[in-house]
Amino acid sequence: MYIIAEIAQAHNGSLELALAYIDALSNTGVDAVKFQVHIAEAESSIHEPFRIKFSNDKTRFDYWKRMEFSLEEWKILKDRCESQNMEFLASPFSNAAVDLLEKVGVKRYKIGSGEVTNFLLIEKISQTGKPIILSSGMSSYSELDEAVRFLKDRNVHYSIMQCTTAYPTKAENYGLNVIPELKKRYSVPIGFSDHSAKTETCIAAAALGAEILEFHAVFDRNSTGPDASSSLEIEEIQSLVESVNNISLALNNPIDKKVNSQFKILKDIFEKSLAINKDLPEGHIIKYEDLEAKKPKGLGIDASKFQAVIGKRINRNMKQWDFLTKENLGN
């Protein structure tokens, strides 16, 4: 069993608070501490909406900017994790973040639910040759199949996490039935990424064969932050009766992974459009190295279609971080 405690943005942009979380988690027995690596200019734009409004930041872009750490700060966090015998794990949300994490030095990569169709990012991570943990929260089976084919074509070692993208997740939406479905469908290690703010879900997931467990960690579930209400506190204690009742409820409410239309709004927020990562002159022929993927979806060509624009010529001067649309492309 591989257990991941995710700090995500609970550090609120404070290196000192992030280090305090690592120290607190070092006594819990988790195997890894996970962060999210956000580089605002590379992954987002002023057009990205808030999933929930929880801060005084003017835009979601401003929030991501405030959550950034420098390369040296990331190295400090990694060193602290390793000094406490825990793996430093991170989810990148842009190709630029992968470049940063390669400098930090990571053993593997976690891909968040909103990035499953971001083949530009998956290609970048695949080029590192490192294992991938793929979260399936907003994905239908057809989308997962496509992502798996993409990884297999590149001989990437991968595992898949069942995850319900709801904050916090109610017992009837845990989707515990999906764990054996994923094991049968893909024959790879299957895990469970939890947002329920209860320990019972991970206990049930382990009983159903999950080999990886992940959950958000927070000092105080009543604190501000996008994930606080769906996180586990450091010293979480649960009632056995409550656990049994809720696990029973979960097992009697299977989720159909054949459709994902209910996630359309979230997919439009989390998924991305292609953008240019440097100033390019009119007539330039697009290469893979010219591209980035930025939120939101719909302002440019979908990130999953990046291969179709390789070799195309742009028909106007483009500035760094401009979205790439069909109208920008010639033959």
Contacts of 294 (CB under 8 A, 6+ apart): 42, 43, 44, 45, 94, 272, 273, 275, 300, 321, 323
Query: Are 12 and 225 spatial neighbours (Cβ–Cβ below 8 Å)?
Result: yes
User: Which pLDDT score is estimated for 242?
Assistant: 62
User: Which pLDDT score is estimated for 125?
Assistant: 97
Give CA–CA dist 128/96, Å, rounded: 13
Contacts of 326 (CB under 8 A, 6+ apart): 301
User: Which pLDDT score is estimated for 237?
Assistant: 33
User: Which pLDDT score is estimated for 153?
Assistant: 97
Contacts of 184 (CB under 8 A, 6+ apart): none
Low-confidence ranges of the chain (pLDDT < 50): 237-241, 244
Domain ranges of the chain: 2-264, 272-328
Give CA–CA dist 193/155, Å, rounded: 24
Percent of the chain with pLDDT over 90: 54
User: Which pLDDT score is estimated for 238?
Assistant: 38
Give CA–CA dist 167/8, Å, rounded: 14
CA distances from 101 to 17, 237, 248, 289 (A): 20, 34, 41, 17
Task: Note the pTM of the prediction, 2 decimals.
Answer: 0.79
Query: Omega of the bond prior to 168 within 30 degrees of 0, cis?
Result: yes
Fold of 272-328: Type Iii Antifreeze Protein Isoform Hplc 12 (3.90.1210)
* CATH numeric code, 2-264: 3.20.20.70
For 2-22, the pLDDT digits (tens) are 888 899 888 888 999 999 999
User: Which pLDDT score is estimated for 107?
Assistant: 97
Contacts of 274 (CB under 8 A, 6+ apart): 120, 291, 292, 293, 300, 301, 302, 303, 305, 306, 309, 323, 324
